[in-house]
Structure formats: C-alpha cells, structure tokens
Amino acid sequence: MRAYERCPYMYHLRYTERIRTPSTAAQLLGRAVHTVIEDYYKQKRSGGAAMGTETAFDVLDDALDAMLHELDDAGREEAEEMRELGYDLVEYYVEEVAPHIRPHLIEKRFSFNVPGVDVPIVGYVDLVDQEGTVIDHKTSASPFPEDYLAQDVQLLTYSLGYNALRSGARQRPGQLPLIHMLPPVRLDILIKGDEITYQRLDFRYAQEHVDRYVERVNAVAAGIRAADFRPFWQIREPDPAVCNYCDFNSVCEYRLPPAAEPEDDSGEANADVPELK
C-alpha cells in the first residue's frame, strides 16, 4: 500500500514485474537488529533469563552473516564496516529499552478485511506488550516527525490486526472495530550517529484516522485493479527526491532527473522525461 501511494510505477516494478533490486548494507543491518529484538522477546516471553549483551551480539553476527550473500563485494565491505554500529544499536536497545517492556505477543500473524475491499489485509505484528500496546521498531539516521504515526499506515494496520486477533469470530468480515476498542501503538526508534539515541512515539487513533485509512486502502485497491501504474509525477506535484530514494532508481525509465534542467534560449526546459504509454 505504501509502495503504491509513493509511486504506482514502483509498485508495478516490484509486485507485478517482480524485478529484484540488490539489498543495501543498511537494510541488512536493520533486519539483523530486528532479529535480535525478536529473539530477545521470545526468550523473555518463554520465562528464560533475559538475553545478555554478548548473546545479543552473537545473534546479530549470525543474522548478518546469513544475509551477506545478498550483497556484492562493495556491499559486503560496507556491511562489515557497519557491524560495529550494529553492536552499538543492539547494546543500547538491550540495556536501555528492552528491560522496560513486558512482552505478550511476538511476531503474531493477523488477517482482517477492510470495507469495500474483497481481499484481506494480512501481516505480522512485531510486538504487543502486557498492557495491550502494539509496538514496532525502526532504525534511522535521524529522528522521525512527531506526527509520523498520524500519517503512516503500518502501525494503524498492526493495531487493527491485533484487534482482529483479540476479537476472533466476534468481528464480522469487513467490519472494523469501534474506535474505543482499537489498541494504542508505540514506535521505538534507534537513531544512528556518533552516539546512539532513542526516540519513542506513542499514539491513539481517532475515528478520522480509521476513516481515512479505509479511503486509502480502497483507492490503492482500485488503482491496482485498474492497472493504473503511472509514475507518481503524472499524478501529483513532481518531487525528484522520491526517485532519488527509490530502489529502482537505476533501472526506471521514468525517473525524474535529480534537479531541474537549465532552460535554453527559447525559455523551455531541456528535461527529457518520457511519458508513460
């Protein structure tokens, strides 16, 4: 859903054409840290002793080593350089964040239906604590905007998914919960830098967020069914930054140039961006 909203043509390349793009060292590091967090809470949930820092380092190493084959030589070299950063992230999380969370569910699969859409939303919620708060984790090079959770769809999807798990057969297909039943969400962000810092965002959704979510899901579903895969700049105001950060930047024939081209003597821009046929 986020991919389609960002750029329908990017969605087309990834999910229709199924073009694979190389992983980056940063992506692998994020996945390895996620593996440590998942294993930490599974061990804690089972009643065993809390995972120590050295054990967490071993889990990180095993996870990262198992993924290095996804990188080229330059990427593997970069990943090795980032390994120390991984240790710092894991150490900070295990010692400063994780001890204060009491896990209830870890990596639990959910499925629910959105009114107007005839296929289910399916996914896995990372973590739910004993108080019923849905928690997700991110690593980032900079802090997230304070209103991030009001705009993003991931944590709202997880909140709806966890509610579907709790409700079971009581929730009829295509029926979303009353807003007061929707679990709160929390996003824990480890911010990379010379020193690791931590940002926590907490949020409770209102009816307006759920209504907007239903509209967005229906709009995405309608666009996909209609095979409307125009590049984003044919739909809304062009922003070259979208292309700069796209995984398909090097292979997409509809990517925008990195900056506006200078005008010629006729006053017309020289940018040569093809129309999608």
- pLDDT, one tens digit per residue, over 154-193 is 999 999 999 988 887 566 666 787 788 899 999 999 999 8
Using the predicted structure, report yes or no on whether residue 230 has a pLDDT greater than 50.
Answer: yes
Reported pTM:
0.84
Q: Where is average pLDDT lowest: 26-30, 133-137, 195-199, 217-221? A: 26-30
- The architecture that CATH gives domain 7-225 is Alpha-Beta Complex (3.90)
- Given a contact cutoff of 8 angstroms between Cβ atoms, the answer to whether 205 and 162 are in contact is no
Q: Tell me which of 170 and 230 has the higher pLDDT.
A: 230
Taking 90 as the threshold, does the pLDDT of residue 269 lie above it?
no
At 238 the pLDDT is 85
Return the closest-CA partner of residue 80 out of 67, 92, 93.
Answer: 67
Q: What is the mean pLDDT of the chain?
A: 88
Distance CA 136, CA 149 (A): 11
51 vs 73: CA distance, rounded Å: 33
Distance in angstroms (rounded) separating the CA atoms of residues 144 and 201: 9
Q: Rounded to whole angstroms, how far apart are CA atoms 162 and 105?
A: 10
pLDDT of the residue at 259:
58
Average pLDDT over residues 47-59: 90
